[in-house]
Structure 1
Amino acid sequence: MADEKTGRPNRRSKPGVDLAAEPAPPVRSAQARPDAPQETTVEPPTISVVGIGASAGGIEALGRFFDAMPADSGCAFVVVLHLDPKHESEMARVLASHTTMQVAQVVDGMRIVSDRVYVIAPDTDLKISHGGLHVSRPAEVRGNRHPVDVLFRSLAADQRERAIAIVLSGTGSNGTEGLKDIRAEGGMSLIQAPETAKFDGMPRSAIAANLADHVLAPEQMPDRVLAYTRHGYVAAPIETAPAVLGGGEAKIEQVLEILRARSGYDFSSYKRSTQRRRIYRRLGLKNIETLSGYLDELRANPDEITTLVSDLMINVTGFFRDAEAWKTLSDLVIAPLVAERESGATIRIWVPACSTGEEAYSIAMLVMEHAAAAGKRFDLKVFATDAQEDNLRKGRDGVYPAAAVAEFPPERIQHFFDRLDGNFQVSKELRDTIVFAQHNLLRDPPFSRLDLVSCRNFLIYLEPDAQQRVIALCHFALRRGGHLFLGNAETVGHLDDLFESCSKKWRIYRRVGPTRHDLIDYREHRRPVGPDWTDKPASPPPDSAASVAETARRALLERYAPASVLIDRKGRALYFHGTTRDYLEQPPGEPTRDLLSMVREGLALKLRSAIRDASRENRSVTVSARTRSSKTGAVTMTVVPLTGRPGESGHLLVSFTPQGPEAGGGPAAPRDETAETASGERALQEELKATRAELRSTVEHLETANEELKASNEEATSMNEELQSTNEELETSKEELQSFNEELNTVNSQLQHKIGELEAATNDLNNLLAGSETATLFLDEKLRIKWFAPATKELFDLVSTDIGRPIAHFARKFADDNLIIDAETVLKKLAPILAE
């Protein structure tokens, strides 16, 4: 096949076949008869498609991959790279030198055929649909495109468990979001080992997201691809899984029992069909043929237990998945909730099974956007819970690849995200509204008094019994009138009397009726069986003599000890003894531990003085005062520093003793009341004057400092805004430069390959002419020597250093006076001249 632009033959392509112009093979219609001729189906429906994504440094990795891949693997390979949209791509010709499979640049509508390689065209997005390849113009601007994610998502939807995705060398995070869909549909992902990649950004991003089924060098991947495609998981229909697995349900139960014993996760409530499919997938990835062999792998490899748990808990999420459903939620639930709540009120939302947190952040963004539009601020709390701590850690970090927010409007990205090394991190303000916590919805008690519960696409993995338990828990958790947001394929089932439908299409429900405690099933944890958990005998009764002595001491204290309060040096109550209600009462408002705030009117002045004196002089102080309570009357208050016991040197004991009409005093002789009152009042007045003067001085200093701080804060705010703006511009420029660098790197790799071919062709030509006995001399337009064959030395005395000198400078060993004139004539007329 000749290249249309250069006319040169493509030495790797099979003669007479033009892939770009290849017609689509007929596809058997759904209405075809079972006995229709076999010729109506050109390709078997079970062909495995391998999607390969790469960027900078990817050409070298692709070469190593295809050098090791057999030409008769039965797979089709679709390659997507970051190509310069303004230059023609040479990728098809470059890859053709590494494989005998036919290689073509994709045109729209091309059918996928096994043992072929398809390469993306510049300035296009490539998708797979119904076994065909479809190209379109990218919606994103140059520098913000994610063609690998586009390919992987369409590959997952079209091929499901047969989909194989490979991420090779490149910068950034392109491909990570698409791998989530590959994992969700049960396909396989292979990631280039970072140490073997020229640029390890894309491989490390996929590995960090825990989306790598295998991490290998490119030349090791073909063996893994072939083993996977030939395994029963891909080669046989999934409906045959029980027969292929061997042992049936008993073996599946053994797998679940190992998970329950080793990891603590109980999957008995999950749908058995999902469990079979995901376990069967693990057999395919590990290239294990029988379930008995996989049980041995689980017993010997703890990492496989962790991986299987993650696979069974299918973590598929994203920002605003099903955009129309989120718009309906915004209009029917969020907007009315924000409108009816007063500014400063609390809004509580729960997102169980939150995975890595995208859904929780989506709800928080909606609430904050509506609140800002209404000019309100709320105490927003979004409880995001999941059973896996690794998911919660990623959610708390709030760092997501650029492809995850590619469809966001610019103002939303600017408001809620910060750029971070080519990714986007959720802003601190938004992160502070989310509380991530480990929680198992099937085992742990729910939250309460919630305005909204978003439990999307979790019920579809559960048995009907467990689904109803979860629905009942959500009803219990919601406040009256709260809303439940489910996935498109989920309903409240026979518990429809607990909810009324707000949107049947998008599964939004409003709670009705009272709280139903009878529907809540609080299941007790399974506890390990062992000696530590058996019932233990009651502790032996304490020594009877010690018990009698303690009882006597307690009775004497209650009978004869005055009402007392233990306080610290700051006047905070630590312990109350006896009946103190005649002397203390809690003031209105929030509860307090300040003793002086609790004493009844008339006692505070004397008690403050006594506490101060006792603390300063470290001695017992007794004062008397009179309350306005007719019942209590005069009271003797004794403040005693507790210095006798270690560790209590900072405590004071305040005792209250009522004075009878005839009583002359208490435990210590009280001071003269009149003299003490006058002295105390004078001391308080002087202290009050000094305090006021100091307060005025402090206020003046604070006002001056506040003005200076205000000015500094304004300057800092202005500088921060400028720096933030500059940082955003630099980040944008960095991403654009990174994209350009990837494109230039790809172009450079293609040019290097081209140079290698030209050097080989030049060497071949030189060898051909050098081996010829014909005297050949190459001249430029100024008749200077460019190259000469060795046989020319018989006609001219030439050496290698003469290249570049005019031919007229050399003496000829033959007679031809017209040589120079003939050469000039040929240059002018571009017609050959023959002479002897």
Structure 2
Amino acid sequence: MDEEQSGKHVSTDHQPKTKPSDSLRKSDGKADIQSDDISALPIIGIGASAGGISALSRFFDAMPDDNGCAFVVVLHLDPVRESELARILSAHTAMPVAQITDGTTIAPGHVYVIAPGSDLSVRDGALHMAKPSASHGHPVDVLFSSLARDRGERAIAVVLSGTGSNGTEGLRDIRAEGGMSLVQAPETAEFDGMPRSAILAGMADHVLPPEKMPEALLAFVKHGYIVHPAAIDVSSSESPATLGNVLDLLRARGGYDFRGYKHSTLGRRVHRRLGLRNIDTLDAYVDDLRTNPHELTTLAGDLMINVTGFFRDAEAWKALAELVIAPIVEQRETGAAIRVWTPACSTGEEAYTIAMLVTELAEAAGKRFQLKVFATDAQEENLRKAREGSYPAAAMSAFPAARLKRFFEKHDSMFQVSKELRDMVVFAAQNLLRDPPFSRLDLVTCRNVLIYLDAESQQRIITLCHFALRPGGHLFLGNAETIGRHEELFETESKKWRIYRKLGAGRHHLIDHPPTRLSTGLLPMDKSTPPPEPNLPAAELARRALLDRFAPASVLIDEKARVLYFHGTTREYLEHPSGEPTRDLLLMARDGLAPTLRAAIRQASRENRSVTVDALMREDKVGLSVTMTVTPVPSAAQSGPFLLVSFVPALPQLDHTRMPVGEAAEDASAGERALLEELKATRAELQNTIEHQETTNEELKASNEEAISMNEELQSTNEELETSKEELQSFNEELNTVNSQLQYKIGELESTTNDLHNLLTGSETATLFLDETFRIRWFAPAIKDLFDLAPSDVGRPISAFAQKFFDENLLRDAETVLKKLRPSRSKYQAPTAGICDGCCPIAHRTIALRVS
């Protein structure tokens, strides 16, 4: 007997939710995660696509109701259909489930579901809706990225069944902010595209089936790393082990040296690993590191914080291409060498980005270069992935189709960098703080490395990069990084995008000196004579002696008025101000000289000629007239132009200007002349400043307009190229989601149909279903007392069967019901088993119309 005939029907869609085990409901002696502070609320973002409804059902079936968390679910829905997701999930959890509206405040113990045709983000503890945009990425990535920014270490991302690579890029932000990522085991997913993409990208902290995720998730949110993140200190009185023990273990057993990293950064990342491993004390974690080599490697990877991507901060790369790479391509001849270094390259995206930019600009100019990009990293696993050059489709989401076709080859769901591009990049292991650098480089891209290091290590790396660059080479830093106090080593090309040009020669002694000595100057400032150099020709000795005796006190400066060289005794005209050492000539100039000197430097630079000016220097209530000459110095080096500033006392006819300032009233003409000189110099400086400011404003305005125009064009082109692909993928995911919802409804209908079938089958009422042509559709077993019907008779006209009762109006009444759409009830003579004795019983029949 089948299920329908026996009255049995198996359905899991409406069964009471199985209560989770008590082990998940207990706090296990750890801190309680319940909190009235919305900022301390852990929020779990769940992303899924095709096959996601089944995975979500399994996840919430295993999730305790009193979990103290909030859940935000993003599923790819058909934008024109009403979503049934909230109703479906309500059958699998006792927590309130609601489809979100814009501005919904997040509360613990609630499940929030995305609305069709929208992006969903978390901001200030509330849910916000927006229209989907290709530039923002997939809705799952939008949710994860916003969650990382809003929750930090309390952000938890769950990736379930789905196609494509949705969610992988958002997981990078989650992990960078210290949150946790859970990824469905691919073998348990109906569609394993999303889980496999996250795993291949190395973004999965735990890989589990949906029903196992709640246990790992709740253990993490109950850990002290989440409950009290502001009080993170892995060195506690309860644990004799210290952070230093962890670093020593990493250095001794893994060869990883993190002594130059910020202590706060290291402590936070180590504490995160304790949370992920569900370990309470540092002692226990040190023991775990000693016995688990895999955890040692994983910890090193977490401490290095491998957050990178192709063309990350696209506007910064655009500025680099315009300010640095394009001029190099224009100036170099075909066949020339271009050398680039990318330290701390992680998995190689940044190094390949440089190679792509140079190749594109070279091809546009019709040139070919010997490009070598040296990419180094301290983690061998990163270098292995970088050499392979295979990346998930999510990493290519912002790529124009032309660039993707030009530089990548698709293999299944992965994109591999073309062999041509891989041959341009050389990957090598290197510890940036310990190993020697490369040399004669045109460009060093050291992005988002300094922010994790202490001040001393930062300054050492800056001098290291200066040493590695050729004269006029460029340094490219991250948006939150600067060159610090080393302004004498670099000139700022773009303050906003942190692009700097090297000044001075390449290989000086700064590389070996402590950072505190870097600002004291390249050469002595006083007139003390340096030790004589051996074997100098007599002519050179005579030239130097004449210069020392007869040449005026002078300084060599660059176009930014920074001193590069001192000659003679300059202490009468220059002095160091209080505070940190400086090389700014205008700050060192004595009282009264700076305004006139600034105007002379600008005029000499603008007109490229020698400029001589007089100024009144005041010292100890005495005025002294000084003649200053600013002369451009031709230079073949690309680090110029240079200017030579000479100081001499005024000519004899002007010596009478030396007088006590307190007696100026006795000599009105001299005082008036001094004031007029100073006023004239001030006016000239003001006029030069105004002209310079106006010119700068016009240039900035023009550059801004060009940048806006180019950005709009590129964005429009990118959107057009990606439209077809995005629409196709979106349509496919919508179909999968609609199919899942329809399957759920079909299950409900099957359940209802089975119940009705069992009801009618078990009833003693003779029931016959006919279609509009009076053909048999279905009949109850009791009808066999009135007609000789078999299951094979379904579909045959009822008129072909003999009646076991007398009712000549049966078919005519059926036609009347079909026409008038009203039921009919009549009496008929019931069949008898023997010979009619004239007392045949009377029965009733009802003909009703069922409209389907």
Kindly indicate whether residue 278 of structure 2 is the aligned counterpart of residue 271 of structure 1.
Answer: no
* Offset, 1:305: 0.9
Q: CA deviation at 1:376?
A: 1.9
Instruction: Confirm or deny that 1:432 pairs with 2:426.
Output: no
> Following the alignment from structure 1 to structure 2, what is the Cα–Cα distance between the partners of residues 410 and 754?
40
> Is the Cα–Cα contact under 8 Å of residues 13 and 96 in structure 1 kept in the other structure?
no
Please say if 1:313 is aligned against 2:304.
yes
Distance 1:102-1:789 versus aligned 2 partners, 3 A rule? farther
Q: Distance in 1 between matches of 2:94 and 2:800?
A: 52
Question: How far apart are residue 450 of structure 1 and its match?
Answer: 1.0
Q: 173-182 vs 216-225, which deviates more?
A: 173-182
Work out which of the residue numbers 225, 230, 241 in structure 2 matches 1:233: 225
Which residue of structure 2 lines up, in the alignment, with residue 493 of structure 1?
Answer: 484
Query: Retained in 2: the 8 A contact 1:177–1:401?
Result: no
Q: Distance in 1 between matches of 2:108 and 2:814?
A: 56
Give 1:182's aligned residue: 174
Tell me the distance in 2 between the aligned counterparts of 1:778 and 1:100.
41
Q: How does 1:186-197 map to 2 (within 5 A)?
A: 186-197=178-189
Q: Select which of 43, 48, 54 maps to 2:42.
A: 48
After superposition, where does 1:184-333 map in structure 2 within 5 Å? Answer: 184-236=176-228, 238-242=229-233, 246=237, 251-333=242-324
Q: Aligned runs of 1:620-631 on 2, under 5 Å? A: none
What is the CA distance between 1:286 and its match in structure 2?
0.8
| Matched residue, 2:411 | 420
Residue 398 (str. 1) matches residue 392 (str. 2): no
- 1:755 Cα deviation from its structure 2 partner: 1.9
Contact 1:242 1:248 in 2 (8 A): no
Q: What's 2:740 paired with? A: 749
Q: Deviations over 1:316-345 (max 9, x none)?
A: 011122222222222222222222222221
Q: Please point out which of 76, 92, 97 is paired with 2:70.
A: 76
Scaled by the length of structure 1, the TM-score of the pair is 0.65
Quote the offset at 1:378 in angstroms: 1.5
Does residue 114 of structure 2 align to residue 157 of structure 1?
no
Q: Determine the C-alpha separation between the residues in 2 that align with 1:250 and 1:812.
A: 94
The equivalences for 1:593-608 within 5 A come to: none
Kept in 2: contact 1:176–1:205 (CA 8 A): yes
Q: Matches of 1:817 and 1:100 in 2, distance apart?
A: 59
In structure 2, do the counterparts of structure 1 residues 734 and 456 end up closer, same or farther at CA, with 3 Å as the change threshold?
A: closer
Q: Is the 8 A contact 2:464 2:511 kept in 1?
A: yes
- Per the alignment, in what secondary structure is the counterpart of residue 410 of structure 2? strand
Distance 1:463 1:195, change over 3 A: same
Structure 1 residues 424 and 122, CA gap change in structure 2 (3 angstroms): farther
- TM-aligned CA deviation for residue 429 of structure 1: 2.0
Partner amino acid, structure 1, of 2:404 = I
User: Residues 244 and 290 of structure 1 are in contact (CA less than 8 Å); yes or no, is this contact kept in structure 2?
Assistant: no
SS in 2 for 1:212: coil
Partner amino acid for 1:46? A
Specify the SS of the correspondent of 1:51: strand
Measured against aligned partners, the alpha-carbon deviations of 1:293-335 in whole angstroms (never above 9, x if no partner) come to: 2122112211111111111000001112222222222222222
What amino acid is the match of 2:273? R
Q: 2:127 aligns with which of 120, 127, 133?
A: 133
Match of 1:58 in 2: 52
SS, match of residue 64 in structure 2? coil
CA contact (8 A) 2:234 2:242 kept: no
C-alpha distance in 1, partners of 2:92/2:221? 22
Cα deviations across residues 398-420 of structure 1 (Å, max 9, x unaligned)? 22222222222222222222222
SS in 1 for 2:485: helix
Alignment equivalent of 1:474, drawn from 465, 470, 485? 465
- 1:187 CA drift (Å): 1.0
Structure 2: how far apart are the matches of 1:168 and 1:79? Answer: 11
Residue pairs, 1:818-829, within 5 angstroms: 818-829=809-820
Give yes or no for the alignment of 1:409 onto 2:422. Answer: no
Alpha-carbon distance between aligned partners in 1 of 2:358 and 2:185, rounded to the nearest angstrom: 42
Does residue 102 in structure 1 map to residue 102 in structure 2? no
2:162 corresponds to which of 160, 170, 174: 170
TM-score scaled by length of structure 2: 0.64
Shift of 1:428: 2.0
For residue 492 of structure 1, report the CA deviation from its aligned partner.
1.1
Q: Equivalents in 1 of 2:476, 2:134: separation in Å?
A: 31
**Mapping for residues 538-549 of structure 1, pairs under 5 Å:** none
Q: Counterparts of 1:413-812 in structure 2 under 5 Å?
A: 413-515=404-506, 517-521=508-512, 743-793=734-784, 795-796=786-787, 798-812=789-803
Give how far 1:244 is off.
8.4
Q: CA contact under 8 A between 2:235 and 2:241: conserved in structure 1?
A: no
Q: Secondary structure at the match of 2:279?
A: coil
Distance, in Å, in 2 between the alignment partners of 1:407 and 1:745 is 25
Q: Is the 8 A contact 1:445 1:522 kept in 2?
A: no
Distance 1:382 1:248, change over 3 A: farther
Change (3 A) 1:395 1:256: same
CA distance in 2, matches of 1:438, 1:116: 48
CA drift at 1:83:
4.4
1:42, distance to aligned residue in structure 2 (A)? 8.2
Question: CA 1:470/1:248 → structure 2, altered by over 3 Å: closer, same or farther?
Answer: farther
Aligned equivalents of 1:205, 1:240: Cα separation in 2: 35
CA gap 1:292/1:500 in 2 versus in 1, 3 angstroms: same
Residues 347 and 383, structure 2, Cα contact 8 Å, conserved in 1: yes
Separation (CA, whole Å) in 1 of partners of 2:296 and 2:162: 31
Partner in structure 2 of residue 92 of structure 1: 86
How many angstroms apart in 1 are the aligned matches of 2:55 and 2:222? 24
**Partner in structure 1 of residue 563 of structure 2:** none
Cα distance, 1:90 vs structure 2: 3.9
Deviations 1:659-694 (A, max 9, x none): xxxxxxxxxxxxxxxxxxxxxxxxxxxxxxxxxxxx
Q: CA deviation at 1:12?
A: 10
Q: Quick check: 1:43–1:114 contact (8 Å CA) kept in 2?
A: no
User: 2:460 corresponds to which letter in structure 1?
Assistant: R
User: Secondary structure of the residue that 1:497 maps to in structure 2?
Assistant: coil
Distance 1:247 1:355, change over 3 A: farther
Report if the CA contact (8 A) 1:392-1:437 is conserved.
yes
Q: 1:363 Cα deviation (Å)? A: 1.8
Cα distance in 2 between the residues matched to 1:243 and 1:454:
33
Deviations 1:709-728 (A, max 9, x none): xxxxxxxxxxxxxxxxxxxx
Contact 1:422 1:735 (8 Å CA) reproduced: no
Kindly report the root-mean-square deviation, in angstroms, between the aligned alpha carbons of the 2 structures: 3.2
- Give the secondary structure class of the aligned counterpart of 1:495: coil
Instruction: Determine helix, strand or coil for the equivalent of 2:460.
Output: helix
Per-residue Cα deviation, 1:20-67 (whole angstroms, up to 9, x for no partner): xxxxxxxxxxxxxxxxxxxxx987222222222333443333222222
- CA shift, 1:235, in A, is 2.0
Secondary structure of the structure 2 residue equivalent to 1:493: coil
What is the alpha-carbon distance in structure 1 between the residues aligned to residue 16 and residue 821 of structure 2?
36
Q: Name the aligned partner's letter for residue 148 of structure 1.
A: V
793-802 vs 386-395, greater mean Cα deviation: 793-802
Amino acid at match of 1:216: L
Unaligned runs of 5+ in 2: 1-12, 18-34, 515-721, 828-852
Distance 1:295 1:159, change over 3 A: same
Distance apart, 1:779 and its partner CA: 2.5
* CA separation of 1:257 and 1:43: change in aligned 2, threshold 3 A: closer
Tell me, in whole angstroms, the C-alpha distance in 2 between the residues paired with 1:178 and 1:756: 35
SS across alignment from 2:195: helix
Q: 1:475 to 1:111 in 2, by over 3 A?
A: same
Are the counterparts in 2 of residues 168 and 203 from structure 1 also a CA contact under 8 Å? yes
Identity within the alignment, %? 67
- Post-superposition CA distance 1:740-761 (Å, at most 9, x none): 6655444443333222211110
Change (3 A) 1:430 1:234: same
For structure 1, which runs of at least 5 residues remain unmatched after alignment? 1-9, 15-40, 524-730
